[in-house]
Amino acid sequence: MTSSNQDNDANANDAQNGVIAEKLRKRAAKLQTGSIETTFAEGVDSELLFGFGERINPRRSFVFVSRVLGRHIPVTPTNVRQSFTGLAQYLPNDLPGPILMTSMAETAVGLGAGVHDAYLRQTERKDVLNVSSTRAQRDQALFARFSEDHSHASGHCLYLPSTEHDRELLKTCRSLVMVDDETSSGNTMKSLGQALHAAGISHLEHVYALTLTDWSSSDITVPSDAAPSGYVLAQRHALLNGTYHWHADEHAPTQTLPDPDTPSLLASQPLHRTGDARIGNSAQTPFTAPQSLLVAAEEWKKDERPVLVLGTGEHVWEPLLLAEALEQASHKVLFSSTTRSPIKLGHDIHHAYSFNDHEGLGITNYLYNVNPDHYSSIIVCLDTSVEQVDQRLIKALRAHILFDDQFIKYEHTADNIEPLLLQQLTTQLTTDSSSSQ
């Protein structure tokens, strides 16, 4: 990382050479395990893009909490969509194809799907394949594995697309677009590039790295037999570029991961859906909200509070499309999702639930910054069985369920939930929970 003193020296050299250097701005946070400081160009409204959080993770103690992604903080569908189009605009319309677009589980699965959708709208191309990684072992053909060493769940899997058309796009791709919510070192993208090369994606000509925030100061290279040097240098674009400095507290207690970092076979396999990038997708996703949900939603308009649509884990793209559909029907809507990322209360995390995962993996999942009293209705969207979801969460949120095209109103599930189970749900609140969405 570049130190602040080096930044100052570089600015001085630029001034001597007649280059007008950008004015820099800093934001910092003090965590229990250390302190973090970020530096970026003045004029960027960073408060709209990210905040800070503290991971429960011995590998990396801090996390940049996105304020536009809809993962840890509820946001409007419009704001999420703007981040998609903002990143897609960095890609040339005539980028040589076929194009392979990849995104990183779990946080960036929806981001990758959205950038893919925005690029298809922008270009009307038919040769752009989106394949996202997944943290779970699925009952389909594995294509590649790679690692995100600093994560609480380091292993990523890429599976072969489900159709012959998409498998052909994968095999013959000439351009690679890697999408993630943030880049701190670039190592995960490098690991992905090496894994793709080892799996046979060996003749790439162009590589792009798109992120909401890019804190990395090193080049990102991807091996390619088509390049004279043996690798392609990624062209990097982000909504915000900067550097960060982490100062660990030597006296802080040692962190322990809440769950073992071992991928396991899903006990409840997701529905096979058009648009699920975990099995490959090269077209825009058709989506129609169930009529029963739309009818119920008309009643919710009488309440001034917004509707909250929740994705679950890696199942976030179709839930976002539902949130957009409701927003376009004149509803006040916010969107967020559950996650397997353990984060402490404090900074941008004001409220937290922890509960059993919905895929039968036996790991803890979390929901951040959601107070059910702030919403007229909450819809939890599932792509696994309804029986697998932790019913304590449904009870705590008084949530309706959307499973495939089945809309299940809360009143139909509440009687089946044991009252004692609700007491077992871990609910944590800060003294200022009113600041949660």
Q: Are residues 117 and 84 in contact, defined by beta-carbon separation less than 8 angstroms?
A: yes
CB atoms within 10 A of CB 425: 17
Q: Is residue 8 part of a domain?
A: no
Q: Are residues 188 and 146 in contact, defined by beta-carbon separation less than 8 angstroms?
A: yes
Q: Is residue 259 part of a domain?
A: no
Distance CA 315, CA 320 (A): 10
Q: Is residue 264 part of a domain?
A: no
Q: Is residue 379 part of a domain?
A: yes
The model's pLDDT over 106-127, given as tens digits with 9 standing for 90+, comes to: 889 999 999 999 999 999 999 9
Q: Is residue 267 part of a domain?
A: no
User: pLDDT tens per residue, the chain (437 residues)?
Assistant: 222 333 333 333 333 333 344 588 999 999 999 999 999 987 788 999 999 999 998 778 899 999 999 999 999 999 999 999 999 999 999 999 999 999 988 889 999 999 999 999 999 999 999 999 987 777 788 998 877 645 545 667 999 998 999 999 999 999 999 999 999 888 889 999 999 999 999 999 999 999 999 999 889 999 999 999 999 999 999 999 999 999 999 898 887 766 655 655 555 666 677 778 778 899 988 889 999 999 999 999 999 999 999 999 999 999 999 999 999 999 999 999 999 899 999 999 999 999 998 887 778 999 999 999 999 999 999 988 788 889 999 999 999 999 988 999 998 665 555 443 444 444 443 333 444 44
The model's pLDDT over 172-223, given as tens digits with 9 standing for 90+, comes to: 999 999 999 999 888 889 999 999 999 999 999 999 999 999 999 889 999 9
**How many helices and strands in the chain, by DSSP H and E?**
10, 21
Out of 200, 226, 248, pick the residue that ends a domain: 248
What's the pTM?
Answer: 0.87
Note whether 230 and 293 are same-domain residues. no
- Environment class of 423 (CB within 10 Å of its CB; exposed 0-12, middle 13-18, buried 19+): exposed
The count of structural domains within the chain is 2
Range of the domain at 62: 22-248
User: DSSP labels for 24-87?
Assistant: EEEEEEEETTEEEEEEEETT--GGGTEEEEEBS-SS--EEEEESSSSSSS-B-HHHHHHHHHHH
Out of 248, 273, 300, pick the residue that ends a domain: 248
